[in-house]
């Protein structure tokens, strides 16, 4: 079976584990950097990106996750996880992992729309996905190798760069687990050496 870890420093961990298991993978709660050696893919959950970033530095995750990515192993960042993966964060000097070629803006929806739900069409998934946005970030600019998988009000909210997948919203807070299935497929392909789709 596919072992997919969920970084468990802060944020929505249990919900991701449940969604991964519904998508047919084994969900692993990752609390120590050494556990990265035992998993085929990694989810970085929503929560608070500055807190997650700080704890990642404190517990030695930065270099290890960068090496994990370097080895071509898939990573899925949701909400705060998207921010943590970005190469550029608007208004901030330094990124956290700095892996995905995009500029992101935190809390981009403003106070009126702090949290909301919508049915979101996503490229590669047949019917719209139920998407929960909570103080969500937006993707402002992308590099040439980044593919946009969905937009909401003309803003980019789901994207992929090779083995990296990100969503502005929380796919783990509904029982619609198709985006986890999509990620599990990426992990399966990277493991069996099939060409990336």
Residues in the annotated binding site? 47-49, 106, 134-135
Active site residue 180: no
Q: How far is the CB of 10 from ligand GLN (least distance, A)?
A: 10
Cβ burial of 181 (10 Å; 0-12, 13-18, 19+) is middle
How many Å apart are CA 46 and CA 81, to the nearest integer? 6
Return the closest-CA partner of residue 28 out of 44, 15, 39: 39
User: Is residue 47 within the footprint of ligand GLN (CB under 6 A)?
Assistant: yes
Q: How far is the CB of 94 from ligand GLN (least distance, A)?
A: 15
Residue of the chain from 80, 99, 102, 122 that contacts ligand GLN (CB under 6 A): 80
Q: Which residues does the annotation place in the binding site for L-glutamine?
A: 47-49, 106, 134-135
Match 């069996």 to its residue by tokens: 192
Output 168 or 190, the one with its CB closest to ligand GLN: 168
User: Is residue 69 within the footprint of ligand GLN (CB under 6 A)?
Assistant: no
Cα angle 27, 145, 11; round to 5: 30
Output 33 or 80, the one with its CB closest to ligand GLN: 80
How many Å apart are CA 17 and CA 39, to the nearest integer? 13
Residue of the chain from 18, 88, 135, 140 that contacts ligand GLN (CB under 6 A): 135
Catalytic residue among 15, 16, 163, 172: 172
- Element containing residue 18 per DSSP (H, E): helix 13-22
Active site residue 26: no
Number of other CB atoms surrounding residue 69 within 10 Å:
19
User: Is residue 180 within the footprint of ligand GLN (CB under 6 A)?
Assistant: no
Q: How far is the CB of 55 from ligand GLN (least distance, A)?
A: 13
Cβ burial of 25 (10 Å; 0-12, 13-18, 19+) is buried
Residue of the chain from 16, 73, 96, 106 that contacts ligand GLN (CB under 6 A): 106
Residue of the chain from 56, 83, 146, 184 that contacts ligand GLN (CB under 6 A): 83
Would you say 136 and 79 are in contact if contact means Cβ atoms under 8 Å apart? yes
Altogether, the residues listed in the chain come to a count of: 197
User: Is residue 171 within the footprint of ligand GLN (CB under 6 A)?
Assistant: no
Residues with a catalytic annotation lie at: 79, 170, 172
């Amino acid at each position: 079976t596919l072992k997919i870890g969920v970084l468990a420093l802060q944020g929505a961990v249990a919900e991701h584990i449940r969604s991964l298991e519904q998508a047919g993978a084994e969900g692993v709660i990752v609390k120590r950097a050494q556990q990265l050696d035992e998993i085929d893919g990694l989810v970085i959950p929503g929560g608070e990106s500055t807190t997650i970033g700080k704890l990642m530095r404190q517990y030695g995750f930065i270099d290890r996750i960068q090496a994990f990515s370097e080895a071509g192993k898939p990573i899925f960042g949701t909400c705060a996880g998207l921010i943590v993966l970005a190469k550029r964060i608007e208004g901030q000097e330094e990124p956290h992992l700095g892996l995905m070629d995009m500029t992101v803006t935190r809390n981009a929806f403003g106070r009126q729309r702090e949290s909301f739900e919508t049915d979101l069409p996503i490229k590669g998934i047949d019917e719209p996905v139920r998407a929960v946005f909570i103080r969500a970030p937006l993707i402002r600019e992308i590099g040439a190798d980044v593919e946009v998988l969905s937009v909401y009000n003309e803003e980019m909210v789901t994207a992929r760069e090779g083995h990296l997948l990100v969503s502005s919203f929380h796919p783990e807070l509904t029982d619609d687990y198709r985006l986890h299935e999509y990620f599990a497929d990426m992990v399966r392909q990277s493991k069996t050496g099939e060409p990336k789709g």
